Structure 1
Amino acid sequence: MPGTRGAISRKEPGTRLFALDGIRITAALVVVLYHYIGLNTAWDRNTAELFPALRPLALYGWLGVEIFFIVSGFVICMSVWGRTVGDFAVSRISRLFPAYWAGIALTALTLWLLPEVQELRHTDEWSDVLVNLTMMQGGLGVGHVDHSYWTLFVELKFYALFALVVLRGVTYRNCVLFCGIWTLAAVAAPTTDFRLLHFFSMPQYAPYFIAGIAFYLMHRYRPTMLLWAIVGVQFLLAQQYVRGRMRTNLGLHLSEQLPTWPARLVIALGFLAIAAVALGLLDRIQWRWLKTAGAITYPLYVIHMAVGITLIHHFRDRVAPLPLVASVTAAMLVASWLIHLWVERPLSKRLRSGMKRGVQEIRLNTPAAAGPAAPDSPAPAEDRVRDMAMASAGGTGR
């Protein structure tokens, strides 16, 4: 694409965006609210009777997942810049699996000790639990130990797709081309019988990932009409699936009774929040506690649903509803912090070290002539050289 060769990064790589941590923990808590208050599963009765003021809001809490996907598109594009496919694989596997394994262990143990809520049991045999350890059960038709894990398989498919960009080289041009090709695939998939295309293009969720990538390009370089057009098209495409997502999460009867405009409003607010991050409007947010909040978001997500609902169900007749939800939520936050501290950090470090050695072994034993062409993505050092050149010529502007 003409003009991309001279595109200059205007952001210092590695700068932490605390606002993103705030958005992530907010989205996670909204999903928790949906599972604990919006659904009747934990209470064996209509939660409208227990939470008349909160339930109308909680019923739309599933939209926190859509916000997660936008953040994921932004963060993945940011984190892989200048990296190889091996680096990308090491980073993602060491980041996702330790807390996930802890979540499976805690969830399976809870459902075994307190088998009170039959709706939470999606695995028939212990072999299903073992398959869940791979995070690939969604592709095999095996039930999830915790139903919320379906989103992790969606994330894995996104990583597989974006690995193609990393293989080619993560550049401004390649990211834009990727967004365009994925958009076309996601639009075409519902009208074809090509199941593999539908499987990987993920029409319902692609708009959020693609928008996140475009927002990161705005953040790294500058907003352009092209990038805003990509975001705008994704927002419009996302509207097609709102009613279907409501049916999936709320059931046919309830979803037909409720209006769709609150869901569309939440999606719009999610887009606006990430846009504010991309444009630097939230750069002044430097609250250090948000780093911890962001760190426990993923552990919270992988343990909160089945474990939390089981605890609420177990104590629902002994503790008042609102204090019970608050207590269980607080317990899940503490457990998430402990998993991050005692499981995720040490195990991620060991997993990362071991995988790096494995990747290095592949590189050492692969003849240079047989390897892929060198990626055309500018290294961070090259970006800095360009920045210095522009600064000496009068600055890049903003």
Structure 2
Amino acid sequence: MRTRPERLYEIDGLRLLAALCVVLYHYVFSGWAGGKTSVTFVTESGWAKYGYLGVDLFFLISGFVVLMSAWGRSPRQFVVSRIVRLYPAYWVGIAITAVVTVALGQGLFQVSLTQVLANLTMFQSVPNIANVDVVYWTLWTEMRFYLIMLVFTWIGMTKGRIMVALWGWLALTFLVELGVLPGLADLVVQSEFSHYFIAGMALFMLYRFGLNWQIALLVPIALGNAVYRAIGYAEAVGERYSVTYSPVVITAVVVLIFLIMTFVALRVTHSLARPWLVTAGALTYPLYLLHAHIGFILFARLEGSINKYVLLVAMIVVMLGAAYLVYRFVERPLAPRLKRLLSKRQPPAHAAAPVGNPTG
């Protein structure tokens, strides 16, 4: 009988840390650098411009926890778990962002009813319809990863099958990067970020089964490709905002991200885990969904009337508060109801319970 794994509270804390890095990137750097507000943080932007790397940490964590969540689940159970986890807060985030944009965002952003309806599916990228909020691009990346995981649940997960799949995915990543495979293949391979998902899954295998030569070889290879792609991505971001990124800093951050998650997989960080981090982790997703366009709009409307540092702190506090309200009054009450609605009749009590998602 399969038992539920212990909750990794430290991952909850890492998720909120990653989200706050992205928030600071938008508020302290990209908002004014991208012309969305005239509230400038020239000095602080020297470090805040690296905050987008919080997304890289998100993807590495996702590889770890989604495999943990999917292990032993049926395809239906996995799909239901993802719908319940993603859609309630997302729908609310779209609604709030759209209302604020229409009411206060003239001249900054535009949103249409067709755009909103398409975004509600989370598949708006398929017909190439614009996101209601810029940060939603990562959800399309996650959704394609979930489709791969769905195939794994259908085939059946074993240690050997997962390791073969990870090596195969890494090989396809290199074939796309070398131009051997057409660009269309990258819709599935996702070579820009696949190394994070691959490494995260490998680290879960380390956490569950212990170290072996395949994991010891695969994770460093994924790290090397992550550094290579991250430096290239930073150059593109730098061109967009007319700033320079240090390859040394980019490399150090990516290595640190891998190192931290390796410590999690080796249970080195277990002593840092605290139950209250569950709530911190629960704020992550709604905070990520709400902060960007709404924040830019409020900065633009309030600039000049409030000290910029007071405004920055107040904005982060307000967004954290809004995230808590979405978690408390949307996700918590709706998740179990939606799960019951989508699930078949529960199996007999003696059947094994599916592994829970450690990130809530």
Task: Provide Cα deviations, 1:158-199, integer angstroms capped at 9, x if missing partner.
Answer: 000111111111211111111111111111123046343111
Work out the CA distance in 2 between the residues paired with 1:323 and 1:252: 28
CA contact (8 A) 1:117 1:310 kept: no
Q: What code does the residue aligned with 1:44 have?
A: S
Q: Does 1:336 align with 2:327?
A: no
Distance in 1 between residues matched to 2:268 and 2:65, nearest whole Å: 17
Contact 1:37 1:58 in 2 (8 A): yes
- The one-letter amino acid of 1:56's match is G
Q: Match for 2:13 among 6, 16, 22?
A: 22
Residue type matched to 1:237 in 2?
Answer: N
Match of 2:41 among 20, 42, 47: 47
Within 2, Cα distance between the matches of 1:38 and 1:117? 20
Q: Counterparts of 1:69-84 in structure 2 under 5 Å?
A: 69-84=59-74
Deviation digits for residues 353-382 of structure 1, max 9, x if unmatched? Answer: 11103xx69x9xxxxxxxxxxxxxxx969x
Residue 85 in structure 1 maps to residue 75 in structure 2: yes
SS for the counterpart of 1:138 is coil
Higher relative contact order (CA 8 A, sep 6+): 2
**Quick one: structure 1 residues 163 and 105, their matched pair in 2 at CA, closer, same or farther if it must change by over 3 Å?**
same
Matched, 1:314 2:301: yes
Q: Distance in 2 between matches of 1:253 and 1:333?
A: 27
Structure-1 separation of matches of 2:118 and 2:218: 38
Query: After superposition, what is the alpha-carbon deviation per residue over 1:115-172, rounded to whole angstroms, capped at 9, x for unaligned?
Result: 2452x44x4x310110000000112210000010000000000000111111111211
Partner Cα separation in structure 2 for residue 227 and residue 237 of structure 1: 15
Distance in 2, Cα, partners of 1:352 & 1:380: 18
RMSD: 2.1
For the residues of structure 2 that align with 1:334 and 1:115, how far apart are their CA atoms? 21
Matched, 1:210 2:193: no
1:68 matched to 2:58: yes
CA distance in 2, matches of 1:250, 1:193: 28
Amino acid at match of 2:81: S
Cα distance in 1 for partners of 2:234, 2:183 equals 23
* Structure 2 partner of 1:134: 121
Q: How does 1:213-362 map to 2 (within 5 A)?
A: 213-252=201-240, 254-255=242-243, 257-357=244-344
TM-score (structure 1 length as normaliser): 0.83
Partner of 2:154: 167
Residues 1:269 and 1:90: Cα distance change in structure 2 (over 3 Å): same
- Alignment gaps of 5+ in structure 2: 354-360
- In the aligned structure 1, how far is the partner of 2:295 from the partner of 2:40? 18
Residue 13 (structure 1) aligns with: 4
- Match for residue 35 of structure 1 among 2, 17, 26: 26
Q: Match of 1:100?
A: 90
Q: Is the 8 A contact 2:238 2:245 kept in 1?
A: no
Aligned 8 A contact 2:235 2:245 in 1: no
TM-score by length of 2: 0.91
CA contact (8 A) 1:27 1:65 kept: yes
Distance 2:63 2:352 in 1: 20
1:36 offset after TM fit, Å?
Answer: 0.2
Query: Helix, strand or coil for the counterpart of 2:343?
Result: helix
- Equivalent-residue separation in structure 1 for 2:307 and 2:106 (angstroms): 19
Q: How many residues align?
A: 346
- Report the alpha carbon displacement of residue 214 of structure 1 after superposing the two structures with TM: 0.5
**Offset from partner CA, 1:208-265 (integer Å, 9 cap, x none):** 000000110111111222102111010111122123322443434635x332221121
Letter in 1 for 2:318: A
